[in-house]
Amino acid sequence: MSLQMPEVQQAMQGMEKLKEDQSWVTPQLMAALQSRPDLLKSLSDPKIQEAMKLMQTAPGEAQRRYQDNAEVTQFLKDFSALMATHFDVLSKEAPGAKPQAGYAKMPAPPAPPKQPVAQSRAQPAVQALPTDDPKVAAAFQDPEVQELLAELYAGKPLEMHELCQQRPNLFHKVKILLDSGLLALQR
């Protein structure tokens, strides 16, 4: 029972609202998921689906049953980090939200160029995503980058000069994401 907290159980009951209101399923979330084929594959795995359902209804049982299952544990860590990042970004984009210093933030997609109505009907515009670039996709999928992103969204400040000196390979990958517009630094 120590794992069942009333406020969490109450929030879980609010999950039905999330199923009805799909406004949180944004193009950015879909792009992030598409850049992680391992997560997409795991989402269709019956064992992962069962673990997620059990976590909603009986978290203690889920912990007992899956504590030694590396595949389920890794999926839950990765998926939770991705969703936490997504909802954090959404909360900062909400009207009246104030961005916090030290956080990297995924920028809002640029507004599509205005085209005459006749032209837009003839040629539907297909906008390329930053993750269409193989270098960007590889950098974004890198486990070291994902770990750094989770730390940033948890509030850890990023010191680029220290990153460059101490972890040049990771710095290079972060720079690729910055250059592509997937990350932005705030002061």
182's enclosing H/E stretch is: none
Q: Which pLDDT score, from 0 to 100, does residue 148 have? A: 84
pLDDT at 99: 46
pLDDT at 68: 93
What single-letter DSSP state applies at residue 132? Answer: G
Please report which confidence band the pLDDT of residue 104 belongs to, taking 50, 70 and 90 as the band edges. Answer: very low
**Which whole number is the average pLDDT over 145-150?**
84
**What's the pLDDT at 116?**
52
The candidate with the shortest Cα–Cα distance to 147, out of 92, 100, 78, 67, is 78
* Residue of 79, 90, 85, 72 lying closest to 150 (CA atoms): 85
Per DSSP, 22 falls in state -
pLDDT at position 98 over 70: no
Indicate if the pLDDT at residue 78 is higher than 70: yes
